[in-house]
Amino acid sequence: MNNKLLSIILFFFLFTGNLFSQVEIKVNDNRRISVNDTLEISISLEKYLDNYSIDQILKDPNRANYLDLKFEGVQIVKDTISYEENSREGRWWERTVDVDANSRFLGNNSDEDFIRLNQDGNNKLKFKYKSNMRISDLFDLRENEYLNKINFSLAFSSTDYILLNRDVICADMKSSVPNFKVIECVFEFFMSDKVNIDHSKKMFLSNAVKNNLNKILEENTKDLMNSPPLGEAGLGGPIFEDFNNDGIRDLIARIYTYGVGAVTRNLSNE
């Protein structure tokens, strides 16, 4: 019984020792992240001093060391509308679509696919990064777009001047708080405030476009009909564009699904 108890206690200490030997990571001081904030990341290897000397952690403590986080992608979605047409009707539907915005980050980051955490002052085991612009500007967040998540990973080149095994460091990079998650050197940053522009100009058409087509067609074909028109006129393949550059979007579409009823007169060759 005593041996079992000793084994349980030993396992508990080994487990908790591993649990609390994590690399210390902070993102925006562990506050919830807004797209209107700058991105601030700090990584500390100071806890390794409990078991290693600084000469065992860094190959050259006298040089300026750094850690690089490689950009793996961003998840941005956009509210939009799309038109669907079948044999019976055509309708506008609200849609949320993915936006390919990875190139925006590169364009705002000097065409580099990584961010660099430099040593924090005289502390050789603490590394820090702060963006020079808001997160929304870093990704050119536009109207009706939502920034959900940013992904990074610890670049292999970052550990060139660190003596500790990369697998050891990655195993100790474990954190999960509301604004970010880190597992095995993979970082996920989550936005609590996902938009930076009020959606004042957002336009969704949940119903068919209103038009006076029926009235126009009835007036111009009433002398041909002895019965009401068959069905209502509809718009097919509509295109929205400001064709005359007056700041107002114009609508161009074809007319379909309209019957004029029975013809009551014989038409001559003339």
Q: Could you report the average pLDDT of every consecutive run of 10 residues in the chain (270 residues)?
A: 45 38 81 90 90 86 86 89 62 75 93 93 91 94 88 83 80 80 89 69 47 69 59 64 75 62 57
* Other Cβ atoms closer than 10 A to 160: 10
What's this model's pTM, rounded to 2 decimal places?
0.63
Do 8 and 120 lie in one domain? The reply is: yes
Q: Which domain holds residue 39?
A: 2-193
Q: Which of 140, 160, 193 is the last residue of a domain?
A: 193
- Residue with tokens 């929304």, as numbered in its chain: 136
What's residue 206's pLDDT? 42
Q: What CA–CA distance (Å, rounded) separates 259 from 207?
A: 22
What's residue 13's pLDDT? 37
* Other Cβ atoms closer than 10 A to 213: 16
Q: Which of 161, 193, 225 is the last residue of a domain?
A: 193
Joined tokens for residue 108: 């705002």
Do 236 and 137 lie in one domain? The reply is: no
**Residue 198 belongs to a domain:** no
**Residue 129 belongs to a domain:** yes
Do 105 and 228 lie in one domain? The reply is: no
Closest CA to 148 of 101, 94, 183, 81: 101
**Residue 202 belongs to a domain:** no
Joined tokens for residue 130: 């702060």
Do 129 and 165 lie in one domain? The reply is: yes
Q: What CA–CA distance (Å, rounded) separates 140 from 102?
A: 10
**Residue 208 belongs to a domain:** no
Do 50 and 169 lie in one domain? The reply is: yes
Do 186 and 54 lie in one domain? The reply is: yes
Do 69 and 35 lie in one domain? The reply is: yes
**Residue 92 belongs to a domain:** yes
**Residue 236 belongs to a domain:** yes
Do 48 and 138 lie in one domain? The reply is: yes
Do 177 and 226 lie in one domain? The reply is: no
Give the CA angle between residues 207, 212, 213 to the nearest 5°: 95
What's residue 54's pLDDT? 87
**Residue 34 belongs to a domain:** yes
Q: What CA–CA distance (Å, rounded) separates 254 from 216?
A: 14
Overall domain count for the chain: 2
Q: Which of 140, 159, 193 is the last residue of a domain?
A: 193
Paired sense of beta strands 90-99 and 33-34, if any: unpaired
Q: What CA–CA distance (Å, rounded) separates 40 from 269?
A: 81
**Residue 270 belongs to a domain:** no
Joined tokens for residue 59: 């190959």
Do 118 and 218 lie in one domain? The reply is: no
Do 88 and 184 lie in one domain? The reply is: yes
CB 187 within 8 A of CB 180: yes
What's residue 167's pLDDT? 82
- Residue with tokens 């040593």, as numbered in its chain: 119
Do 250 and 151 lie in one domain? The reply is: no
